[in-house]
Amino acid sequence: MTVSNETSSVPVPKPWVMGIAPYVPGRATGDDGRPLAKLSANENPLGCSAKAREAFVAEADMSRYPDPGATLLREALAAEYDLDPARILYGTGSDELLHLAAGAFAAHGDEVVYVRYGFAVYDIAARRVGATPVIAPDKDYGTDVDAILSVVTPRTKIVYLANPNNPTSTLVSRDEIARLHAALPKDCLFVLDQAYSEYLEPEQDDGGLELAKSQDNVFVTRTFSKIYGLAAERIGWGYGSAAMIDAMHRIRAPFNVTTAGQKAAIAALHDHEFVAMSRAHNAKWRTWLAEEVAALGNHGLRAVPSATNFLLILFEGDVTAERAYKGLMEAGYITRWLPGQGLPNALRITIGTEEDTRGVAAALRTLVAGA
Ligand SMILES: *Cc1c(COP(=O)(O)O)cnc(C)c1O
C-alpha cells in the first residue's frame, strides 16, 4: 500500500484505516426507537453479583485517578487462577487487550490470521496497524485447526482465536488447541480469546491458561463483561509472558480501568455462587432453546451446537434470517443479524431470562407457522 505524496487541504487518514468496516454493536431498541428485550450482546440476563454492585456503589471518590497498576485486581486474579500477578495485563474491556496485541506485535506488511466467522474486533485490530488480515475457512461454522495452519506463513505475526467462538458459539478441544499451538512458528503470537470460558464446564477447559503459563507466544484474554455482568464498566484481563506484557504496557492508556470497575471486578471474581448460578441458568435455557429450534428443523431452522451464552440459528428454509430478525423485533426481541460478517442466513440470539427465552421461542414458532 502506498501513501500519496500529493498535498491535501485537510488531514488525510491512513488508507488502511479507511479500509476498516466500523464495529456494529448489538442494538437495544427497535427501528422505531422503542426499547426491546435485548438478546443481541451476550450480556448476562441475571445482571451482576450483588456484591459487585455494592463494591461499585461504595466507591464514591471520582476525583483521583485509578490505580494505574490495578494492583489489587491483579492480586485477586493471580490468587484465583494461580498466576504470576506481574504477568497479568488489564484493559478497557478485553477489546483493548486485542488491540494492544496488534499494536505491539503487528505492523504494515505483516499478516494476521483469524477464522472466517471470527470476532469482529480482530479485523479492526489488524487493519488499524496496517497489517493484512488473512482468513482461515471454517468447517460447518466451527474452527478448523488445519485450515488455520494452512494459511500461516513466515509473515504471520498473530493468530487470533476465540474459544468458544463468537458469533458461531463453537468450541475447539484442548487437544486441538495444543496441536495448533505446537505447529505455529515460535515468533507468531497466539491470542486465545476466552471471553466465554466461564460458561464452560470444567471438562471443556481448552487448557489456554496452562499454555500461557509456560509458552512465550501465548496470550490468553478474559473479560468481566460476559458471565460477571460488568459490561458497562469495561474490564478485561490477559495473561502472557513477562516480555510480552512489558511490550503491551508501553502502549496502553495509562489509567485504563476505573477505580469502581477494579473494585467491582474483585467482588465479582469472588462471588462464585453468582457465577455458578449464571452458568446453570445458561445451560438450562440454552438446552431448552436448542430443543425448541430442533423442533423447527422441518422449517429449515438449525442451531449450531453452542458452548456459549448464545445460539447461532441458521435459517435454511422458507423463513429467512432477515425475516426472522424483523419478526422477532416486532414481537419485542432484538437479536443479532450478521450479514456484515458473512452470515446473512443466521441470527445470533443471547440466552436471556426464562421469560425472554420462552418468548423468543414462541415468536419463532409463530413466524414459521405463518410462512
Ligand atoms: C464480548 C467479547 C469480547 C469482549 O468484550 P469486552 O467487553 O471488550 O471485554 C471479546 N471477545 C469475544 C469473542 C467476545 O464475544
Say whether pLDDT at 2 is over 60: no
Smallest CA separation from ligand 1 atom 6, residue: 93
Instruction: Give the model confidence (pLDDT) of 226-281 as tens digits.
Output: 999 999 999 999 999 999 999 999 999 999 999 999 999 999 999 999 999 999 99
Q: How many CB atoms lie within 10 A of CB 78?
A: 16
- CA–centroid distance, residue 194 to ligand 1 (Å): 8
Please identify, by atom number, the ligand 1 atom nearest to the C-alpha of residue 225.
7
Taking the C-alpha atoms of residue 310 and residue 46, their distance in angstroms, rounded to an integer, is: 14
- CA–centroid distance, residue 160 to ligand 1 (Å): 13
Taking the C-alpha atoms of residue 34 and residue 370, their distance in angstroms, rounded to an integer, is: 25
CB of residue 95 inside a 6 A radius of ligand 1: yes
Q: Where are the beta strands (DSSP E) in 273-330?
A: 301-303, 310-315
Smallest CA separation from ligand 1 atom 3, residue: 195
Instruction: Give the model confidence (pLDDT) of 129-150 as tens digits.
Output: 999 999 999 999 999 999 999 9
pLDDT at 292: 98
CB of residue 162 inside a 6 A radius of ligand 1: yes
Peptide bond connecting 167 to the previous residue in cis, omega within 30 degrees of 0 = yes
Domains of the chain: 24-47+274-370 (3.90.1150.10), 50-270 (3.40.640.10)
Smallest CA separation from ligand 1 atom 11, residue: 195
CB of residue 195 inside a 6 A radius of ligand 1: yes
Question: Mean of the pLDDT values across residues 281-287?
Answer: 98
Taking the C-alpha atoms of residue 335 and residue 198, their distance in angstroms, rounded to an integer, is: 22
